[in-house]
Amino acid sequence: MRINHNIAALNTHRMLNSATGAQAKSMEKLASGLRINRAGDDAAGLAISEKMRGQVRGLEQASRNSQDAISLIQTAEGALNETHSILQRMRELSVQSANGTNTDEDRDALNKEVVELKSEIDRISSQTEFNTQKLIDGTFGTQVDQDTTSSTILAVAGVTGANTNGGVDAGTWTITAGDGVAVPTGAFSISDGTTTLVSQVWTDGDAGTLTFGNGEITVSLNNAALGADLDATAIVISGSGNTFQIGANENQTLALSIGDMSTKGLSVDGVDISTSTGAQSAITSIDTAIKSVSDERAKLGANQNRLEHTINNLSTSSENLTAAESRIRDVDMAKEMMEQTKNSILSQAAQAMLAQSNQMPQGVLQLLR
């Protein structure tokens, strides 16, 4: 028998600490409802779970974005519905004015209504907006960013210049020059294919508009007339418009453009039914305008239907990812309760055994009697 070291008590104490620690962890999991409360619980599971959480939150926000996009489309479509009604009335008046039974005074009276109807079309076009963004005045287009694919410094006639090559999509773009760079207005017209543009620098100038088809564009800055080195000047090509973020990840977007639905954009600004000839011409012009509005509304309707399916898909994806994340991170309450009960019993038993083991050295006193 030894009294300096109570091995039984030490072993019991170690088991008591183990049971108490396991019980504390079980209580933490039961209180939080999570199997993983810190990285030490499951490092790999935590990393996977956090990625899934990010995706779920992104999907939920994308769903809200899609709902906002539908609201925007409905706003534009509602305005175009009224534009349609006005155009139908204008066509009706044009057909009436084209009839030979009308006098000049009759046609003047009919034309006055047409003038007011055209003003209303322009008012609708200029004032229809969503979150301060004009929708049907032609400024709500498709935003496509231009990415620089290469940049090379060349020597041109003894002058150092800078070339920038980049691929861009079809559309209307504005080349904005910084201080000291001139971009002549209306100087560019690009067709499909690869085209090189050269603009001189070192003189102040205004921005120009660049319209082009599909293909690649090379914009070069140099100044062969000056016998001195020039610093490279950046060119930013930007277009007005909008894209909707309808996914949780990069480039999961929907591009939407809405045409100019004003009388000028619909080519009915010059409609005049004060004469029989003008009325006949107006019928054709208004028919074309009605078709343009119909096409625009059809496009908006198609995008709205697409977004509704997008929202359904986002909801399903979010639900499935949430379930997957739950299986990784959430605790099985019934199983953990069993563990907690087991550890509680072990802890109580260890405490009792520790008391017993502490009494064992007392047996030495019996030898001294």
Q: What is the mean pLDDT of residues 62-68?
A: 96
**Are both 265 and 123 inside the same structural domain?**
yes
d(CA 153, CA 144): 26
364 domain residue, yes or no: no
- Whether 281 and 133 map to the same domain: the answer is yes
Considering only CA atoms, give the Rg of the chain. Answer: 38
**Position 244: which residue type?**
F
Domain end, chosen from 239, 267, 299, is at: 239
3-state helix, strand, coil in the chain (%, to 5): 55, 20, 30
**How many separate domains does the chain show?**
2
Q: Is residue 179 part of a domain?
A: yes
Sequence-separated (6 or more) residues with CB below 8 Å from residue 63:
311, 314, 315, 318
- pLDDT-derived band at 369 (thresholds 50, 70, 90) equals low
Whether residue 347 lies inside any domain: the answer is no
Contact 23, 347 (CB under 8 A): yes
CATH number at residue 277: 1.20.1330.10
- Whether 129 and 157 share a structural domain: no
One domain, residues 126 and 59:
yes
Torsion over CA: 37, 39, 43, 49 (sign) = positive
- pLDDT tens digit sequence for 114-158: 999 999 999 999 999 999 999 999 988 743 444 433 333 333 333
Lowest mean pLDDT among 70-74, 150-154, 215-219, 299-303: 150-154
Beta-sheet pairing, 208-212 with 171-176: antiparallel
Do 136 and 262 reside in the same domain of the chain? yes
Domain ranges, residue 176: 147-239
Same domain membership, residue 262 and residue 133: yes
Query: Does residue 155 sit in the same domain as residue 235?
Result: yes
Top-confidence residue, 251 or 186: 251
Q: Per the domain annotation, does 165 fall within a domain?
A: yes
pTM greater than the 0.85 cutoff: no
Q: How much is the pLDDT for 219?
A: 47
Phi/psi of residue 115, each to 5°?
A: -60, -45
Each residue's pLDDT tens digit, 212-267: 444 444 444 444 443 444 344 444 444 445 899 999 999 999 999 999 999 999 99
Task: Let me know the angle formed at the C-alpha of 363 by 357 and 369, rounded to the nearest 5 degrees.
Answer: 165
Task: Give one word for 77, left, alpha or beta, with left for phi > 0 and alpha for psi -120 to 50.
Answer: alpha
Q: Is the pLDDT of residue 176 over 90?
A: no
Q: Is 123 inside a domain boundary?
A: yes
- Both 132 and 163 in one domain: the answer is no
116 with 190, same domain: the answer is no
178 part of a folded domain: yes
d(CA 36, CA 172): 53
Q: Where a domain ends, among 210, 239, 268?
A: 239
Q: Which residue has the tokens 């004009």?
A: 134
Residues 151 and 235 in one domain: yes
With CA atoms as reference, report the closest residue to 111 among 100, 91, 97.
97
346 located within any domain: no
Task: Classify residue 214: in a domain, yes or no.
Answer: yes
Residues 234 and 167 in one domain: yes
The pLDDT of residue 1? 60
Q: List b or e across 44-81, with b for residues whose CB sees 16 or more CB atoms inside 10 angstroms.
A: ebbebbeebeebbebbeebbebbeebbebbebbbebbe
pLDDT at 170 > cutoff 50: no
Same domain, 286 and 307: yes
pLDDT at 354: 86
